Amino acid sequence: MRVAMHGMAAQALIDGGHGASAAARHLLEMHPEGDPWVVQQLRQAANESFAAGAPDAARRYLARALREPPEPEDRAQVLFELGAANLLHDPMTTINQLRTALEEPKTEQTLREAITYRLAQALAHTGQLTEAVGLLDDEARRSTSARTKLRMQAEQFKWNSVRGDEENSPARSRLLAQFAKRLVGRGLAERHILGLRAWDAAMRGEPVSTAVDFAEQALDGGMSWTDQDFGFEVPVVVAVTLMYCDQPGRAEELFNAGILEFEAKGWRGTHLSFVYTLLGYVRYRRGRLVEAEDFVRNGLEIANRIGQDNPAQWYAVGTLVETLLARGNVAEAQKVARTYRLGEGFPQAIVYPDPQTVFGRLLLAQGRVEEAERQLTEAGRRLDLRGTRNPSWSSWQLDLALAQATHDTGLARATADEAVARARAFGAASIIGQALRVQAATVEPAQAAVLLEEAVAHLEQSPAACEFAHALVDHGTVLQTMGEPHRAAQQLYRGMEVATACGADALTDRARGLLAAAGLRPRRLHTSEQDTLTVAEAGAARHAALGLDNAAIAKEMRMDPAAVGELLSAVFTKLGTNRTGLRRALGV
């Protein structure tokens, strides 16, 4: 009787215009009887729940609709909707449901294509990249639609770009470049291809201007992070591309927009883990290490709830270890690596930061130089075969040069020279400065001082605050060795202040120790609000945004050019951009 009354209540609510969501709680209590009306109302309630940001309720409604069961011609659609709902929290269940949907005999072509896209995404999120690409290739061969083939090609580009076992990555890059040149439309599928082209350009170390240009073309018209047909992966790689191109502030804007979209939809699974982790990675690259650690730990906590050895977890573990090492907390980094078995085998997917490079850096920080060299050399060989030559993406050469410098300065110098050449070819000031700093560690003090002065000049023009602090302290150290205490103290004081603002505790202690050893008393540290420009900084930034160089700005502001350089360095750090992105950051 009670079950029958639930049925009557559901019908009364629908007839009264209260909608499927109001009736759904009653529909859940009814016995399955193969009623198409019940299936229709539960599916409608699920759609409304998704729109209202309640995906858990949507999953319950769709699971109940499947038990009704639906009509044979509707079964594939219900399986697809249920699989899509489960993707955020249980991708393995999604794979089973979507494979079953593809096997349904009465599946029209448009639905079949949508199932294929979602199934490929679920396979990729569980590390089954080869299967994902093979599925897309098979469906592309079946289709007779030119637009469908283009979309399938875009999806294949996307998943091939993160396949560690891809046989001919350079050939795929050339094909992608040809595709991007031929695009005449600016639909979402075309803009996703342009976004992938931007990412590929950054990975291969093509000039910064090329990567940024394709990224901006991809963003022209907007990209949704919650588009269930296209996924969130391309918006992610576009944002990361801008980060590698010294515009991390722009990348943060995009990631923050993604988080807002996910939270509005009630999405709490893999997607949110990726975005929290990568937002932490952006903060790490900017030198905001305390904030970076907090974001990455949140991302790792979400990834742990999904399961072990999933891509979201790989991203979070690598970024957390990198951040802890930058802070000087080697013991905690080692603990994280041991907990998640970093070094016991690396994923087949392309993960950033590269796990093997991170592991090599950890070994180097522990003083296990021989093991570090072996891991870094293997990482370099693997990445070079893929055509991934940008040291900004993977710093394996820089870490390898530091390891080699402990026993063979000639070999270390050759490795560092090649890294500097690659960094200059890419053109981002942050990686050029970092490479020059490492190169300085392989030469005599007099030459090192010249290289470090150039490194400081480059990093002063970038938003990479922690690297800037490293270069300042290294420069001060060399100047002190060469008997120039006044200049050394200036660099060490400034480096200590920047390092403290970054949360790089070990670097701060090193600078303080050097000053104390020289008989200098480290002055009281003072830091300003990180994102608020002072009046002087804002004035210098406006002049720079209008195209004036430092000398012209110094003349306008009646101050020393070196002081202008310091003001602009603070601007780039606070706004998370370089000189190229300054106009947009200021709204000029």
Contacts of 272 (CB under 8 A, 6+ apart): 259, 262, 263, 299, 302
| Position 500 pLDDT exceeds 60 | yes
Q: Note whether residue 508 is domain-resident.
A: no
**pLDDT grade for 351, boundaries at 50, 70 and 90:** confident
Q: What is the mean pLDDT of the chain?
A: 89
Given this model, what pLDDT does residue 154 score?
A: 80
Q: Compute CA distances 12 → 61, 68, 474, 514, whole Å.
A: 19, 20, 76, 80
CB 257 within 8 A of CB 280: no
| CATH, residue 546 | 1.10.10.10
Residue 533 lies inside a defined structural domain of this protein: yes
Helix (H, G, I), strand (E, B) or coil at 307: coil
502 or 128: which leads in pLDDT: 502
Specify whether the CB–CB gap between 68 and 39 falls below 8 A: yes
* pLDDT at 525 (0 to 100): 53
- Is residue 266 within 8 A of residue 55, CB to CB? The reply is yes
- Predicted pLDDT of residue 343: 86
Joined tokens for residue 105: 């005999």
User: What's residue 51's pLDDT?
Assistant: 72
**Which of 409, 414, 400 is closest to 359 using CA atoms?**
400
- For residues 395 and 357, what is the distance between their CA atoms, to the nearest angstrom? 7
How much is the pLDDT for 151?
Answer: 79
Nearest to 320 by CA among 368, 284, 287, 286: 284
Q: Indicate whether 213 pLDDT > 80.
A: yes
Tally Cβ neighbours within 10 Å of residue 506: 15
The answer to whether residue 549 scores a pLDDT higher than 80 is yes
Residue 53: what pLDDT? 66
CA distances to 300, 324, 392, 488 from 336, rounded to whole Å, are: 11, 9, 24, 37
Per the model's pLDDT, the better-predicted residue between 528 and 533 turns out to be 533
Cα–Cα distance measured from residue 511 to residue 505, given in angstroms and rounded to the nearest whole number:
10
- Work out the number of other CB atoms within 10 angstroms of the CB of residue 155: 27
Residue 332: count other Cβ atoms within 10 Å of its Cβ: 16
Beta bridge partners of 349: 163
pLDDT confidence band for 421 (50 / 70 / 90): very high
Q: How far apart are CA 349 and CA 352, in angstroms?
A: 10
Contacts of 344 (CB under 8 A, 6+ apart): none
pLDDT band with cut points at 50, 70 and 90 for residue 528 = very low
Which residues constitute the domain of residue 538?
528-588
The answer to whether residue 169 is domain-embedded is no
544 has a pLDDT exceeding 60:
yes
Grade residue 333 by pLDDT with cuts at 50, 70 and 90: very high
Region 187-203 average pLDDT: 91
In the DSSP assignment, the letter for residue 173 is H
Compute how many other C-beta atoms are within 10 angstroms of the C-beta atom of residue 358: 30
Structure tokens, 93: 């269940």
pLDDT at 529 > cutoff 80? no
Residue-wise pLDDT tens digits, 82-106: 888 887 677 888 899 999 998 888 7
Does 565 map to a domain?
A: yes
Residues 364-377 have a mean pLDDT of 96
Q: What is the predicted pLDDT for the residue at 87?
A: 78
488 lies in some domain: no
DSSP 525: P
Q: Decide if 549 is inside a domain.
A: yes
Helix (H, G, I), strand (E, B) or coil at 308: coil
What are φ and ψ of residue 71, in 5° steps?
-60, 150
Does 315 reside within a domain?
no
Q: Model confidence over 504-527: pLDDT tens digits? A: 999 999 999 999 888 877 655 555
Bridge partner list, 163: 349
Q: In the structure, what pLDDT confidence band is assigned to residue 584 with cuts at 50, 70 and 90?
A: confident
Kindly report the three-state secondary structure assignment for every residue of 377-416: HHHHHHHHHCCCCCCCCCCHHHHHHHHHCCCCHHHHHHHH
Check pLDDT > 90 for residue 397. yes
Per-residue pLDDT at 57 exceeds 90:
no
Provide the terminal-to-terminal Cα distance of the chain, rounded to the nearest Å: 70
| Residue 277 pLDDT greater than 80, yes or no | yes
Whether 578 is covered by a domain: the verdict is yes
> Which position has the higher pLDDT, 229 or 288?
288
Is residue 349 helix, strand or coil?
strand
**Which percentage of the chain shows pLDDT scores above 70?**
97
Give 3-state DSSP helix, strand, coil % of the chain, rounded to 5.
75, 0, 25
Chain centroid to Cα 380, Å, comes to 21
Would you state the torsion angle of the CA atoms of residues 335, 339, 344, 346, taken in this order, to the nearest 10 degrees?
A: -100
Give the number of domains in the chain.
1
pLDDT of 240 above 90? yes
pLDDT score for 533 = 85
Q: Where are the beta strands (DSSP E) in 84-164?
A: none
Pairwise CA distance, residues 193 & 234, whole Å? 9
* pLDDT value, residue 473: 97
